Amino acid sequence: MIKHFLSTADWSQESLNRILEDAVQLKQQPLHNHLNGKSIALLFLNPSLRTRTSFELGMSQLGGTAIVLQPGQDAWGIEFEPGQIMDGHAEEHIKEVAKVLSSYVDMIAIRAFPEFKNWQVDKLDHKIKGLAAHATVPVINMETIIHPCQELAMMMTIKNHLKVVKRKKFVLTWTYHPKPLNTAVANSALLISSKFGMDVTLLCPSPDYILDQAYIELAKQYCQQHGSQFNITHDIKTAYQDADFVYAKSWGALPFYGQPEAEAKVRTQYKHFIVDGEKMAITNGAKFSHCLPLRRNVKATDEVMDADCCVAIEEAENRLHVQKAMMLNLMNQPLNTEK
Ligand code: CP
């Protein structure tokens, strides 16, 4: 069976920990030849700064080659639905794309954001699943409805600062943004913090902003396994009080999915969820992070972004190290004793 990295939910905490240990080593010693002669295709259906740079550079630092393809721009548009009469924009089907790329490269990574029309359809994550079903090489998720590479970078950063993460208070706070954004990073933040045994608090303005039940239930289950807590609150002070790590993200309300104008009327009431110095002052000296990109003075103030507590740049750098560790693992070249 081919080993993919589609979701951290498919991996044990122990396996993910080994990846993080390798990432720490790679941070100290970045250059290796372990992937000499290996290659990865990076399919970007959506824009990126960090993901593209860190994967391309990471593969090169391991001696391999990365090929970036932007279907619909510099590569043919792809149809993902089975059984379609392909008389629209897409020139080829994922069945052929997956098989052809598998015959050239050793790994395929994809970024495929949801369509933002129907959550019941988008939540099936059918684009990456279609790719994985037809590829004969490992597939890596570069963000779909979850963002597992970001999860690893976030946990590497948290571990660096908190050392022991079990039972430390992790707060995922919703923040305002002019657009209803993807829930991927928020879903992922819940998955990894709970998987590593943190006490998890989800802070969001109202029940409309609670994330999909599938992720809430998984997070609750992981917390239960560790004997840690999982809480949802709409009260800012309760959430920030005693927090050890604050993570911010904006996302659209699922009950208004596909109705951005209606959702905007609700969302604009909650601009005060911005992460600011006053809120951070009631934490337990918490570090703050965000996946980036971040709109300053909308999601977090300049004061917070420029403070020593902000570790968002470190987390972005850690994307490079964790992704290299993951590629080594998928190519059966881990640095640690698992080999
Ligand atoms: N955090 C993240 O995935 O950044 P990019 O969208 O720039 O890749």
Q: What residue ranges do the domains of the chain occupy?
A: 8-146+319-330, 150-315
Helix, strand, coil share of the chain (percent; to 5): 45, 15, 40
Q: Following CA atoms 79, 82, 87, 93 in sequence, which dihedral angle do they give, to the nearest 10 degrees?
A: 40
Whole-model pTM over 0.85 = yes
Is residue 307 within 8 A of residue 283, CB to CB? The reply is: no
CA of 109 to the centre of ligand 1 (A): 14
The pLDDT assigned to 337 comes to: 52
Q: Does residue 48 line the site of ligand 1, with CB under 6 A?
A: yes
| Ligand 1 mutation pick, 319, 320, 322, 323, max ligand atoms within 8 A of CB | 319
Write down the H helix ranges in the chain: 13-28, 50-61, 94-104, 119-122, 126-134, 148-162, 184-195, 213-226, 236-240, 260-267, 277-281, 302-305, 312-330
Mutating to test ligand 1, I would choose from 42, 44, 50, 152 the residue with most ligand atoms within 8 A of its C-beta, which is 50
Q: Under a CB-based contact definition with an 8 Å cutoff, are residues 73 and 59 in contact? A: no
Which single residue is written with the structure tokens 């998720």?
141
CATH number listed for the domain at residues 150-315: 3.40.50.1370
Q: Give pLDDT, residue 339.
A: 45
Both tokens of 177, joined, read 């943004």
What's the CA dihedral at 295, 296, 301, 302 to 10 degrees?
A: 160
> Bridge-partner residues for 203, per DSSP?
173, 233
- Ligand 1 centre from 293 Cα, in Å? 7
| Amino acid, res. 250 | S
The runs of H, that is alpha helices, within 32-87 are 50-61
Q: For ligand 1, is residue 51 a contact (CB within 6 Å)?
A: yes
Give Cα separations from 194 to 110, 197, 200, 248 (angstroms): 25, 5, 6, 16
Residue 336, phi-psi category: left (phi > 0), alpha (psi -120 to 50), beta (remainder): beta
CA distance 78 to 266: 35
Equal fold, 8-146+319-330 vs 150-315: yes
Angle at 269 between CA 266 and CA 274, to 5 degrees: 120
* Whether the CB of 67 sits within 6 Å of ligand 1: no
Q: CA–CA separation, 42 vs 50, rounded Å?
A: 13
pLDDT given at position 336: 72
Q: Could you report the per-residue pLDDT of 89-99, keeping only the tens digit for each?
A: 999 999 999 99
Q: CB–CB of 215/151 below 8 Å?
A: no
Low-confidence ranges of the chain (pLDDT < 70): 337-339
Pick the CATH number of 8-146+319-330 from 3.30.360.10, 3.40.50.2300, 3.40.50.1370, 3.10.20.30: 3.40.50.1370
What's the CA-to-centroid distance between 296 and ligand 1, angstroms?
Answer: 16
Mutational test site, ligand 1, from 292, 314, 315, max ligand atoms within 8 Å of CB? 292
Token pair for 122 = 């988008």
